[in-house]
Structure 1
Amino acid sequence: MFTGIVQGKAVVNSVNVNNGIMRLVVKLPTDSILGLQVGASVAINGCCLTVVDTSDFPNVPFDVIDETLNITNLGNVKVGDEVNFERSAKVGDEIGGHTVSGHVSGLAIISDIQTNQDNIRMRFNVDVKFAQYIFNKGFAALDGCSLTLCDVIDNQFSVSFIPETLQSTIFSNRFIGKQVNFEVDPTTQSTVDTIKRLMPQMLKVV
C-alpha cells in the first residue's frame, strides 16, 4: 500500500528488455534506501514494483512484466529520465494523501495546461470506462501522486498543482499530449462496482 505522497524523483539508470520483461534500474536518492531489501515494494510513477537486488545501491533494479508495460508509461522511459518514487507505507505512517494500491488502471493524457503565478492546472482525458469512478473533489493517483479532481466532465478532469508538488515530482516537465499513469481511488471503485452488481437484485426486491 502507498499513500500517494511522492517522496521524490529518481533517475533511470538503465533499461533492458528481454523476452517481454524489462529490467528497469533507477538511482534513488541515498537517503531513501535505508532498510530497503529484496522483495520490498516501491512505486515508480505509481506502479508497484518489487526490488530484485540490493548489491549496487543507490541503483535499484526492478523487473517489469509485459502486462505492466502494456498499460503504463514505464515502457516509454529512457536512460536519464526522471520518475516519481514512493516506498511502501508502514504501519503508523501518516496517510497524507489517500490509499493507493500501485495497480495502475490505465493511462491519462494531458490535454491542456494553464499556468499562473501560483500554480499549474492540467486537464486530463482518460478512457470512457473510467468516467464512473471520477467526480468533483474525488481522488485519483497520477504518476503516483494523490491528487484532487475538479471540473469533471464525462471522462475528463482537471488537477491543480501547488509549487511544492511541482518541485518534488516530475509534473514540472510534463507537456500536452504526455501520457501519465492513472489509478482510480480503490474505495470509489469498489463502492461503484458493488452498487452496480447489487442494484439489479435490489430493484427486484422493491
Structure 2
Amino acid sequence: MNLTPSPSLRKIAMFTGIVEEIGTILVANTGLERDNTLRIGCTLATSDAQLGDSIAVNGVCLTVTAFAADWFEVGLAPETLRRTNLGQLKVGSSVNLERALAAGRRMGGHYVQGHVDGTGEIIAIEPDGESKAITIRVAPALMRYIVEKGFIAVDGTSLTITRTTDDSFGLAIIAHTQAWAIIGQQQVGDTVNIEVDILAKYVENIVRFDRKMLAE
C-alpha cells in the first residue's frame, strides 16, 4: 500500500466523461460523523497513480488518499454525501472511474469538472433496437441548463440529450456505452449524479451580469 505523498500534488483536474473502467466498492464507510471513505477495486485507475491524484468516481472528482495495485481509497466530505449518490453505495456496488485528463490525451467527450450539480432519478428505460432510451427526472432548477442535443454528464459519463420536458430529459444509450459504463446496469428508480454543461452556467452568468450593468 502506498501512503507516501506525491512530491507534486495536482491542484487542477478536468475530465472528459469517457469512462475508463468500472470499479467495484470493496469498503464503504459512509454515514459517519467524520472520516467517510470508500475503497474501490480496479486495475487501470491505479496503473500510474500517485497520492493526491484526482479520479472521478461516478462523476465526482475525488482525491486518492491511499492505493495498491488493485484498489484505491478516497475520502468523502459531508457536502459530497449530501449532493451525490456516493452515500448510497454499498460493498459490491459498481462505479464509473475516469482518471484526470493528461496532456496529450484525446478529448473524446466534453469538458467535465467532476463537480456534481445534483442528482436525478431514472424514471423510464425502454429498448430501442440495441440501444436503450432512458428518461431521467431532475429538479426544475437544473432543467434551465439542459437542452436537446446538448451535453450532460450522468454518473460521469458524457452523453447527448435527445429530448426534454419541464422536469426530465432523455438519453439514447448505445450498446458500447451499456457495456462500458454503469448506466447499462441501472434500473428505474436508481439515483444518478448529474453535472450540467459548464458553458450553460457561464452564459447564464454573463447574461445576468449584462442585465445588471444595463439596469445601473
TM score, norm. by length of structure 1:
0.93
Q: Matched residues in 1 for 2:210 and 2:167: separation?
A: 24
Question: After TM superposition, which residue ranges in structure 1, 4 or more long, deviate above 4 angstroms?
Answer: none
Deviations 1:47-86 (A, max 9, x none): 00000012x3311000011100001000000001110000
1:43-122 to 2 correspondences below 5 Å? 43-54=56-67, 56-122=68-134
Deviations 1:92-147 (A, max 9, x none): 21111000000000001111111132200100111111121011111110000001
Q: Matched residues in 1 for 2:162 and 2:181: separation?
A: 20
Q: Matched residues in 1 for 2:152 and 2:42: separation?
A: 25
Q: Matched residues in 2 for 1:44 and 1:32: separation?
A: 11
Cα offset, 1:192, TM superposition = 1.6
Cα offset, 1:155, TM superposition = 2.8
Partner of 1:36: 49
Cα offset, 1:187, TM superposition = 1.3
Paired AA for residue 42 in structure 2: L
Deviations 1:10-69 (A, max 9, x none): 00000113424411000112x332220000000000000000012x33110000111000
**Contact map agreement 1:132 1:192 (CA 8 A) in 2:** no
Deviations 1:143-200 (A, max 9, x none): 0000111211223110010100000011122111111000011112111222123224
Q: How many residues of Structure 1 are paired with residues of Structure 2 in the alignment?
A: 202
Q: Does 1:162 align with 2:190?
A: no
Gap regions ≥5 residues in structure 2? 1-13
Bigger shift: 74-83 or 20-29?
Answer: 20-29
**Contact map agreement 2:110 2:158 (CA 8 A) in 1:** yes
Partner of 2:26: 13
- Alpha-carbon RMSD across the aligned residues, in angstroms, is 1.4
Q: Matched residues in 1 for 2:207 and 2:106: separation?
A: 30
SS in 2 for 1:115: strand
2:135 aligned residue (113, 123, 143): 123
